[in-house]
Amino acid sequence: MKTFTATPADITHDWHVVDADGVPLGRLASAVAQLIRGKHKPTYTPHMDGGDFVVVINAAKVGFTGRKLTDKKYFSHTGYMGHERFTAARDLLAKHPDRVIEKAVFGMLPKTSLAKQKMRGKLKVYAGAEHPHSAQQPKPYSVTPEKVSA
- Total domains in the chain come to 1
Is 4 a member of any domain? no
pLDDT at 150 over 80: no
Kindly write down the DSSP assignment for every residue of 2-55, as one continuous string. Answer: PPP---TTT----EEEEE-TT-BHHHHHHHHHHHHHTTTSTT--TTS----EEE
Is 21 a member of any domain? yes
Nearest partner of 65 among 32, 20, 27, 93, judged by Cα: 27
pLDDT at 149 over 60: no
pLDDT digits (tens, 9 = 90+) for 53-89: 999 999 999 999 999 999 999 999 999 999 999 999 9
CATH number at residue 29: 3.90.1180.10
58 is in which domain, residue-wise?
15-64+96-141
Is 147 a member of any domain? no
